[in-house]
Amino acid sequence: RLRLHDGKLIKDRRYHLRTYPNCFVAKELTDWLIDHKEAPDRETGIRLMQKLMDHYIIHHVCDEHSDYKDAKLLYRFRKDDGTFPLSKDVKVFMRGQSLYEKLVSMEGSILKVREENSVKYQRSFVGCEMIDWLVQEGEVENRKEAVELGRVLLEHGIIQHVSNRHHFFDSDILYQFWTNFRRRRRLTELLNENSSRTLSESPDSPFCLRKLNPDPGNTSFLSVQTNKEIKIVSAVRRSSITSLAGNSNSYFNPTPTLVFPPVAECNPKSVLKRPITNEELLSPGAPYIKKTLTIVGDAVGWGFVVRGGRPCHIQAVDPGGPAAAAGMKVCQFVFSVNGMYVLHLDYQTISSLIMTGPRTLVMEVMEAIE
């Protein structure tokens, strides 16, 4: 966006006797993406801009087109017209970015390469020193507020304990900025992210259940509902995240060692006895109760699988994972995700909402009254 402003591609434009401030022509922007090596061809450029539309970064100036069209149509960055949705997640991200920029640009910064247990960590700092700095710089009013800020940053994945063993404390524990805000990113990285259509099958999906045992040859995962027989479903491990997480820790719950009775195969397509409609769920006097679950993801994920659509339901739950600890059960219906009503969505869209949201997940579910 800033580069387009500097290059005068974003400017006030007049069309049909009306002036549209701070906008760009889609066709000109596609040309610019190719000329500046941000996209190899027009098709890729269109896909990139569609990604930005899907994430509410840009929009048509009159909101008459929901798709990005490679034509002489006017679009605008939402930050340029005040319509960018400043959700809690976005505000936390922007606060983390502001603190990071301030820290790396100052002399004698507390942010530096530090070593612990013979391992060097980039962008690291000591918890109590960070709190001292926040108070001295007027970023917070007191140490308690500083701890609360640190915890929010950690829960949103912006900072972390160097080995994922602790939450944020006013102590001499070593933390690091997990997000490197100054890394130069290319737009094409957007297309390498998991799409909503493949989240459930992806090795990085937070819905994949943990292995029953650590043997590399065993690909079985546990899927159970409280007080029901243990079942086995096929899934994959979220190895790319696990490899960074280190050993088991006290803050992100490890999978406990359990002794299991003989297991039975289950149908992975559905656990529902019959299809349920939204009308049936929401009708007056329906035999369902609503529950709110707060799930703090661990190094592997949240530990559940969601399937179906309109409404979606919980297909499987890892009994040793965060979701089970929060009270999630098989056959519950997903009512909302982080405050967003989702009964009308399919499981791919809900998966995308959870995948792109904070580590601390707040879900409302509807459960049949027994």
Is residue 123 located within the same domain as residue 56? Answer: no
Is residue 354 located within the same domain as residue 318? Answer: yes
We report the CATH number of the domain holding residue 312 as: 2.30.42.10
CA atoms of 93 and 88, how far apart (whole Å): 9
Which residues span the domain enclosing 143?
88-177
Is residue 149 located within the same domain as residue 96? Answer: yes
Residue at 34 is within a domain:
yes
Is residue 364 located within the same domain as residue 284? Answer: yes
CA atoms of 100 and 95, how far apart (whole Å): 9
We report the CATH number of the domain holding residue 66 as: 1.10.10.10
Tell me if 49 sits within 8 A of 26, measured CB to CB. yes
Is residue 26 located within the same domain as residue 100? Answer: no
Is residue 124 located within the same domain as residue 45? Answer: no
Residue at 128 is within a domain:
yes
CA atoms of 341 and 336, how far apart (whole Å): 4
pLDDT tens-digit readout, 248-290: 333 333 333 333 333 333 344 578 888 899 888 988 888 999 9
Residue at 295 is within a domain:
yes
Q: How far is CA 58 from the centre of its chain?
A: 20
Is residue 36 located within the same domain as residue 72? Answer: yes
What six digits make up the tokens of 119? Answer: 């391992």
Residue at 222 is within a domain:
no
Nearest alpha carbon to residue 57 among 35, 76, 32 = 76
Residue at 100 is within a domain:
yes
Q: Please provide residue 355's backbone torsions phi and psi, each rounded to the nearest 5 degrees.
A: -65, -35
> Hey, is 233 helix, strand or coil?
strand
Last residue of a domain, one of 110, 144, 177: 177
Last residue of a domain, one of 146, 177, 208: 177
Burial (CB < 10 A; 0-12, 13-18, 19+), residue 181, is: middle
Per the structure, the count of domains in the chain is 3
Residue at 255 is within a domain:
no
Residue at 107 is within a domain:
yes
CA atoms of 58 and 75, how far apart (whole Å): 7
Is residue 25 located within the same domain as residue 105? Answer: no
Nearest alpha carbon to residue 38 among 188, 148, 240, 171 = 188
Residue 201 pLDDT class (50, 70, 90 cuts) = very low
**Is the model's pLDDT at 69 over the cut of 70?**
yes
Is residue 6 located within the same domain as residue 45? Answer: yes
Burial (CB < 10 A; 0-12, 13-18, 19+), residue 230, is: middle
* DSSP-derived pairing of the beta strands 231-234 and 264-265: parallel
Total Cβ atoms within 10 A of residue 281? 17
Is residue 57 located within the same domain as residue 98? Answer: no
Is residue 96 located within the same domain as residue 168? Answer: yes
* DSSP-derived pairing of the beta strands 333-337 and 340-341: antiparallel
Burial (CB < 10 A; 0-12, 13-18, 19+), residue 153, is: buried
pLDDT tens-digit readout, 294-306: 998 877 788 899 9
Last residue of a domain, one of 177, 192, 215: 177
User: Would you state the pLDDT for residue 269?
Assistant: 55
Residue at 104 is within a domain:
yes
Is residue 4 located within the same domain as residue 72? Answer: yes
CA atoms of 125 and 102, how far apart (whole Å): 14
Give the pTM.
Answer: 0.46
pLDDT tens-digit readout, 9-63: 999 998 888 899 999 999 999 999 999 999 999 999 999 999 999 888 999 999 9
